[in-house]
């Protein structure tokens, strides 16, 4: 990919950096493995710390066998688990709990602090070739960790197939499978969050609801994560300083719970210090065996760094990055590695870089050295995968561990905060170009031209990063949510697109996804509306949709509350709590509300499908009276079969306006849906004392929900994906990028507290013809119109089609999925097809009523191949 003058000029200063190229190659070459290290070590520890009672030991295996069979059946057939079986299971779980609880001398927070300390004490450590930073999220170069204490049990029926499953196969040995079956799961199946949540839910069918994946999905039985830990505090004070804070708090603790939490926090802090000691030792060991003296010196330097950090305050950029990485890796051992984000690295690393520059510490090419160090950090984020079973893979395709990294934006006073590190992070990303981390750039009215220009160039190279966020609309949304302005100005992205307060909040941003489209489908299937002589108007449908939405959100919130309470009660995370501001001071775990700011994110999915469907119903049923609602619904039920069905289908697709064309009505409906969704979600509080935060992004839940839903009045056929995030339906953005950007700006709303994702697909040829600056122009126009977020997916459709046919030729092809990027090769076939459809031109729904001939263009217009975005 050719780069333009600016990057070349700056690159000239930075130089070749073969180290990063080799690191990248190594990561692209690495196969994926299932990591059972945490599962085995934690089980080993917990079997000692909290042994099963004699009765449990005798009887539980029978229950385990039943459960294993029922999980396998449920997964194979997709049928719901029998109500009585669920009730029986819950009663048995209740019994196991009663048998176990009194056994344990210590509260859960202490047990798990000790258990995780055991993991950190024994986990595998290694520095790979060329690395300047050390940290091993799993025992594989690239691995997915299994967390039996959360939702790992779901993998049980799929373990044997894991090696050979068509999408995202993972290496696993027979010994690993045997250990999981015989030692790990039999211990956890009565103790995991997944099994205990049912004890707190009044809806025994919750499990069925979740595995059905039709109306909503809740994710946190797999772990909460989704947080930006307080790296600045670790860098500034070191874990020894943090330990001082814990001790100080302990003197003031007034309840046994507080004392237990602080004791647990202390154990966790010591475990991190011990981990760093072991890492340092490992570096020395490897240095001794290194054949290349230069490499040995590098490893010895790293060993010395690890002797100092994260115990003590960091003094250099290298130390700061290493301290950050130790903390990040340790946190990944405690809970599910999803959305553990890095915050505003260009801000909190800036003092260290400046000091290094002043002291000449970065050698003859300081910018190049900094890019190298940053590149090593980026590579680390790409080493971990989330573990999903086959159903979850539908909903969360692309293996995003959603580690967000934010740069740019304003400072606390609202002045531009970008600096040289902002630039160097972009260069480091451009060199590494891996699927992770998610790179996020904050822009505002006074963002410097060089930054906008450089970002545009990095985006044009493809890969969908950085994603762009508009300070002018995001900050007010956080203020509206109750965050003081100076703190809101410091926002960072958690995971994919979730804007929130870094370092001092527990945003639980990925908690749940509600299918708005499935709800509309239910509403229009109400028998009262389908009767022949029903007296209704469009408002009847809207009111029912709104009422249904309130109910659906209640239902999702209730289910999620059961999960979150289970976390607080049975699976606190003292190590993470140590790293979220507020917890030590309040002497309370994050899962129990210890963070300074707290919230839970709930997303609406299928916005464009609902807006397009409401528009179609309004126009065809109530304005034109061309069909009755019953006829329309019946055509949907038949998936538009037959000549009449097909004629109706074509009318829906070709002749009705669609969200993303900026023709007014669909955008009006979309804005109305967003407003209702936001109001209803934000009206709920979570059990930690925070509020629910509405979001409009979908990961790939739009594919999962879509696969489980019949045809819609929008013209979307049965089982097809829904629209992603706040983007138009595939093929509906036929009026060019400005129209789809404006559509998204019209649904922007200061109540959207948990992020919004707009995927804007741009053809590389169009960008080439338009010249540099187009991306920036589009972004500025969109942001000036009130837009909140956008990510540009730049590619050629031929490239994607070739990648689908010949995966091995396109190993490093990174594409934007929803709020995150992924290797094209890691996607499900359905997602690959969706991306190709997104980028195909001359799409079925391109034609609109008064427009004539978008295929032919005219002499002076750009050729349609380049135009029809």
202 binds other proteins (CB under 8 A): no
Q: How far is the CB of 741 from other proteins (least distance, A)?
A: 8
864 binds other proteins (CB under 8 A): yes
**How many residues sit close enough to other proteins to count as binding (CB under 8 A)?**
47
506 binds other proteins (CB under 8 A): no
Torsion of CA 184, 185, 188, 192, to 10 degrees: 120
> Which of 62, 161, 248, 851 touches other proteins by CB under 8 A?
851
772 binds other proteins (CB under 8 A): no
Q: How far is the CB of 50 from other proteins (least distance, A)?
A: 60
Question: Nearest to residue 667, comparing CAs of 596, 554, 749?
Answer: 749
Q: How far is the CB of 786 from other proteins (least distance, A)?
A: 9
Within 10 Å of residue 410's Cβ, how many Cβ atoms?
Answer: 22
Q: How far is the CB of 1 from other proteins (least distance, A)?
A: 21
> Which of 51, 351, 777, 807 touches other proteins by CB under 8 A?
777
Question: Nearest to residue 835, comparing CAs of 744, 725, 761?
Answer: 761
> Which of 277, 485, 784, 829 touches other proteins by CB under 8 A?
784
Q: How far is the CB of 775 from other proteins (least distance, A)?
A: 11
What is the C-alpha separation between 106 and 48, in angstroms, rounded?
12
| CA-to-CA separations, 519 to 514, 534, 542, 630, 640, in angstroms, rounded | 9, 21, 12, 17, 20
Give the nearer residue to other proteins in terms of CB position, either 166 or 664.
Answer: 664
From residue 718 to residue 757, the character string flagging contacts with other proteins as x (rule: CB under 8 A) and all else as - is: -----------------xxxxx--x---------------
Q: How far is the CB of 233 from other proteins (least distance, A)?
A: 39
Give the nearer residue to other proteins in terms of CB position, either 125 or 778.
Answer: 778
H or E element in which residue 269 lies: helix 256-289
Cα angle 336-242-246, degrees, rounded to a multiple of 5: 95
> Which of 621, 674, 676, 778 touches other proteins by CB under 8 A?
778
Q: How far is the CB of 781 from other proteins (least distance, A)?
A: 3
DSSP β-ladder status, 691-695 and 512-515:
unpaired
Within positions 647 to 686, which residues make up the interface with other proteins, using CB under 8 A?
Answer: 647-648, 650-651, 654-655, 662
> Which of 1, 78, 769, 798 touches other proteins by CB under 8 A?
769
Contact 610, 618 (CB under 8 A): no
Q: How far is the CB of 665 from other proteins (least distance, A)?
A: 14
> Which of 66, 785, 801, 840 touches other proteins by CB under 8 A?
785
Q: How far is the CB of 660 from other proteins (least distance, A)?
A: 12
H or E element in which residue 760 lies: strand 759-763
Give the nearer residue to other proteins in terms of CB position, either 813 or 866.
Answer: 866
Q: How far is the CB of 423 from other proteins (least distance, A)?
A: 22
Give the nearer residue to other proteins in terms of CB position, either 192 or 869.
Answer: 869
Please state the φ and ψ torsions of residue 416, each to the nearest 5 degrees.
Answer: -60, 135
What is the C-alpha separation between 129 and 616, in angstroms, rounded?
58
Q: How far is the CB of 32 from other proteins (least distance, A)?
A: 40
Q: How far is the CB of 622 from other proteins (least distance, A)?
A: 17
Give the nearer residue to other proteins in terms of CB position, either 18 or 842.
Answer: 842
Give the nearer residue to other proteins in terms of CB position, either 61 or 642.
Answer: 642
Stretch that binds other proteins, among 127-135, 156-164, 278-286, 644-652 (CB under 8 A): 644-652
Within positions 600 to 619, which residues make up the interface with other proteins, using CB under 8 A?
Answer: none
Give the nearer residue to other proteins in terms of CB position, either 683 or 777.
Answer: 777
| CA-to-CA separations, 168 to 144, 161, 172, 336, in angstroms, rounded | 11, 11, 13, 18
Write the DSSP string, 799-815.
HHHHHHH-GGGGTT-EE
What is the crossing angle of helices 5-14 and 366-381, to 10°? 100
Give the nearer residue to other proteins in terms of CB position, either 376 or 656.
Answer: 656
Q: Residue 547 half-sphere exposure, CB side, CA atoms within 13 Å?
A: 9
How does DSSP classify residue 750? T
861 binds other proteins (CB under 8 A): yes
> Which of 167, 770, 801, 840 touches other proteins by CB under 8 A?
770
Question: Nearest to residue 523, comparing CAs of 426, 629, 450?
Answer: 629
> Which of 183, 558, 751, 780 touches other proteins by CB under 8 A?
780
Contact 386, 145 (CB under 8 A): no
Q: How far is the CB of 662 from other proteins (least distance, A)?
A: 6
From residue 790 to residue 829, the character string flagging contacts with other proteins as x (rule: CB under 8 A) and all else as - is: ----------------------------------------
856 binds other proteins (CB under 8 A): yes
H or E element in which residue 711 lies: none
Reading the block at residue 751, the tokens are 């109540």
Expressed in angstroms, the distance from the first to the final Cα of the chain is 21
Question: Nearest to residue 298, comparing CAs of 401, 385, 372?
Answer: 372
3-state secondary structure of 640: coil
Write the DSSP string, 647-681.
HHHHIIIIIS--TTS--SHHHHHHHHHHHHHHHHH
476 binds other proteins (CB under 8 A): no
Within positions 29 to 68, which residues make up the interface with other proteins, using CB under 8 A?
Answer: none
Q: How far is the CB of 450 from other proteins (least distance, A)?
A: 17
CA–centroid distance for 625 within its chain: 43
| CA-to-CA separations, 96 to 44, 102, 147, 233, 604, in angstroms, rounded | 19, 11, 20, 41, 37
Reading the block at residue 842, the tokens are 């001359």
Contact 326, 310 (CB under 8 A): yes
Binding site for other proteins (CB under 8 A): 643, 646-648, 650-651, 654-655, 662, 735-739, 742, 766, 769-770, 773-774, 776-782, 784-785, 847, 849-864, 869
């Amino acid at each position: 990919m050719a780069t333009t003058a600016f990057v070349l000029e700056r690159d000239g200063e930075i130089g070749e950096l073969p180290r990063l190229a080799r690191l990248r190659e190594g990561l692209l070459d690495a196969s994926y493995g299932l990591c059972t290290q945490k599962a085995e070590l934690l089980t080993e520890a917990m079997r000692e710390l909290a042994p099963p009672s004699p009765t449990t030991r005798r009887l539980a295996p029978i229950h385990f066998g039943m459960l294993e069979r029922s999980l396998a059946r449920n997964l194979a057939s997709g049928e719901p688990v029998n109500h009585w079986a669920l009730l029986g299971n819950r009663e048995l779980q209740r019994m196991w709990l009663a048998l176990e609880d009194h056994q344990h001398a210590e509260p859960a927070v202490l047990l798990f602090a000790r258990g995780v300390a055991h993991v950190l004490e024994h986990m595998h450590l290694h520095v790979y070739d060329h690395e300047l930073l050390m940290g091993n999220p799993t025992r594989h170069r690239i691995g997915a960790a299994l967390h039996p204490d959360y939702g790992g049990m779901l993998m049980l029926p799929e373990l044997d197939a894991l090696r050979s499953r068509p999408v995202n196969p993972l290496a696993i040995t027979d010994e690993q499978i045997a250990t999981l079956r015989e030692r790990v799961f039999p211990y956890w199946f009565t103790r995991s969050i997944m099994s205990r949540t049912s004890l707190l839910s009044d809806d025994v069918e919750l499990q069925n609801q979740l595995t059905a994946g039709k109306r909503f999905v809740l994710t946190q039985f797999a772990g909460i994560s989704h947080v930006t830990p307080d790296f600045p505090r670790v860098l500034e004070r070191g874990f020894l300083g943090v330990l001082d804070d814990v001790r100080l708090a302990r003197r003031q603790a007034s309840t046994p719970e507080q004392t237990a939490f602080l004791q647990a926090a202390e154990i966790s802090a010591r475990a991190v210090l011990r981990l760093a000691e072991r890492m340092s030792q490992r570096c020395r060991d490897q240095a001794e065996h290194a054949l290349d003296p230069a490499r040995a010196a590098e490893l010895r330097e790293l060993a010395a760094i690890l002797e100092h950090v994260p115990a003590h305050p960091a003094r250099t950029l290298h130390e700061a990055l290493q301290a950050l990485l130790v903390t990040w890796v340790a946190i990944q051992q405690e809970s599910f590695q999803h959305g553990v984000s890095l915050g505003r690295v260009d801000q909190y690393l800036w003092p260290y870089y400046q000091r290094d520059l002043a002291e000449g510490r970065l050698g003859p090419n300081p910018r190049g050295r900094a890019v190298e160090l940053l590149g090593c950090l980026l590579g680390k984020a790409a080493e971990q995968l989330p573990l999903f079973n086959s159903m979850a893979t539908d909903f969360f395709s692309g293996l995003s561990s959603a580690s967000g990294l934010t740069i740019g934006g304003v400072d606390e006073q609202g002045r531009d905060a970008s600096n040289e590190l902002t630039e160097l992070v972009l260069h480091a990303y451009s060199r590494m170009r891996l699927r992770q981390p998610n790179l996020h750039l904050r822009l505002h009215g006074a963002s410097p031209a060089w930054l906008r220009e450089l970002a545009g160039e990095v985006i044009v190279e493809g890969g969908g990063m950085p994603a762009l966020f508009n300070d002018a609309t995001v900050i007010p949304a956080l203020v509206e949510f109750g965050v003081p302005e100076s703190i809101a100005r410091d926002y960072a992205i958690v995971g994919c697109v979730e804007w929130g307060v870094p370092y001092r909040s527990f945003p639980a941003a990925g908690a749940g996804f509600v299918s708005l489209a499935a709800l509309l489908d239910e509403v229009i299937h109400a028998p009262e509306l389908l009767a022949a002589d029903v007296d209704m108007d469009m408002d009847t449908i809207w009111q029912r949709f709104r009422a249904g939405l309130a109910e659906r959100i209640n239902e999702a919130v209730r289910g999620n509350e059961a999960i979150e309470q289970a976390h607080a009660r049975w699976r606190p995370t003292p190590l993470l709590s140590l790293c979220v501001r507020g917890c030590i001071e309040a002497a309370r775990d994050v899962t129990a509300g210890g963070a300074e700011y707290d919230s839970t994110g709930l997303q609406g999915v299928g916005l464009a499908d609902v807006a397009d469907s409401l528009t179609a119903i309004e126009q065809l049923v109530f304005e034109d009276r061309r069909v009755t609602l019953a006829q329309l619904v019946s055509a949907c039920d038949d998936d538009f079969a037959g000549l009449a069905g097909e004629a109706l289908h074509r009318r829906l697709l070709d002749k009705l306006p669609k969200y993303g064309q900026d023709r007014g009505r669909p955008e009006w409906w979309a804005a109305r849906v967003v407003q209702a969704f936001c109001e209803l979600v934000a009206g709920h509080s979570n059990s930690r004392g925070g509020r629910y935060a509405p979001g409009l992004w979908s990961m790939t839940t739009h594919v999962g929900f879509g696969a489980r839903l019949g045809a819609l009045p929008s013209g979307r056929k049965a089982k097809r994906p829904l629209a992603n995030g706040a983007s138009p339906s595939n093929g509906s953005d036929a009026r060019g990028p400005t129209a789809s950007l404006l559509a998204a700006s019209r649904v922007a709303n200061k109540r959207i507290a948990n992020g919004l994702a707009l995927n804007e697909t741009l053809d590389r040829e169009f960008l080439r013809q338009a010249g540099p600056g187009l991306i920036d122009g589009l972004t500025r126009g969109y942001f000036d119109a009130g837009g909140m977020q956008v990510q540009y997916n730049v590619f050629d459709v031929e490239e994607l089609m070739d990648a689908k046919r010949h995966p091995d030729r396109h190993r490093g092809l990174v594409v934007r999925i929803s709020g995150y990027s992924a290797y094209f090769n890691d996607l499900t076939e359905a997602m690959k097809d969706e991306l190709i459809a997104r980028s195909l031109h001359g799409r079925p729904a391109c034609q609109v009523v008064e427009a004539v001939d978008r295929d032919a263009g005219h002499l002076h217009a750009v050729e349609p191949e380049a135009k029809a975005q």
